[in-house]
Amino acid sequence: MKPGIVYLHGFASGPGGQKGRHCRAWAEARRISFHAPDLNLPDFEHLRITAQVEAVEAILRGLPLPPVVVGSSLGGLVAAAVAGRGTAVAQLILLAPAFGFARRRLSGPRWSGYRRRGTLKVYHHAREAWLQLGPDLLEDLPRWKDDLAWRIEAPTVILHGAEDDAVPIVESRAFAAAHPSCVLRELEDDHALLKPGTLAVLDGLLEDAFRPTRG
């Protein structure tokens, strides 16, 4: 029996985005089970990282084997949190993971209006509409601001674009430096990581993850 793939989408997105579809097609072509939960939990307006992490933990505990987890942006942060809290995974493949997400939003200038008002208008790509993010996320963020202190033993590969203007690449560099089991691949791409060359690298990582080991 082969392990499956669990794909975790990013912020203001959904499981049917381009990278999710790409991973699903890769898995289905090889008859590998594929799971891509909707992480807008309990819904986007009341989003909480805690709800995302707990939902993913429940999914992984219900699988017959620890899966390969592919996490994009905020989904990458959630994947790392799940592994750091002790849930077994075969491997993590993190695509521009949003390390520092909580720290930047609790103290940086970009979300100062959200901190002041407790609400924020966000364009949600899966729902193709402007939605109002409520205060739930802001209240939940302090639980998740110490991501550099998480200890992850599972083999981990990070793909991060040098032209990423959404998640600073220095966050992935710091995480990789703190985790001997982590390899960082810096690519000529932006936050979307959708260039053909990048997707080819992702395909190669998936092939490596499912290549039979020789005893």
Tell me the three-class secondary structure of 79-141, residue by residue: HHHHHHCCCCCCEEEEECCCCCHHHHHHHCCCCHHHHHHCCEEEEECCCCEEEEECCHHHHHH
Phi and psi for 160 in degrees, rounded to 5? -140, 130
Residue 181 lies in a domain: yes
Residue 214 lies in a domain: no
User: So what's the pLDDT on residue 41?
Assistant: 98
User: So what's the pLDDT on residue 213?
Assistant: 64
Residue 199 lies in a domain: yes
Please list the ranges in the chain whose pLDDT falls under 70: 213-215
User: So what's the pLDDT on residue 212?
Assistant: 78
User: So what's the pLDDT on residue 108?
Assistant: 83
User: So what's the pLDDT on residue 214?
Assistant: 45
**CATH number of the domain where residue 80 is located:** 3.40.50.1820
User: So what's the pLDDT on residue 5?
Assistant: 98
Residue 114 lies in a domain: yes
Residue 14 lies in a domain: yes
For residues 1 and 32, give the distance between their C-alpha atoms in angstroms, rounded to a whole number: 10
CB 29 within 8 A of CB 54: no
User: So what's the pLDDT on residue 110?
Assistant: 83
pLDDT in tens, 27-75: 999 999 999 999 999 999 999 999 999 999 999 999 999 999 999 999 9
Domain that holds residue 72: 5-209
The DSSP H or E segment spanning 59 is helix 49-61
Domain count, the chain: 1
User: So what's the pLDDT on residue 1?
Assistant: 79
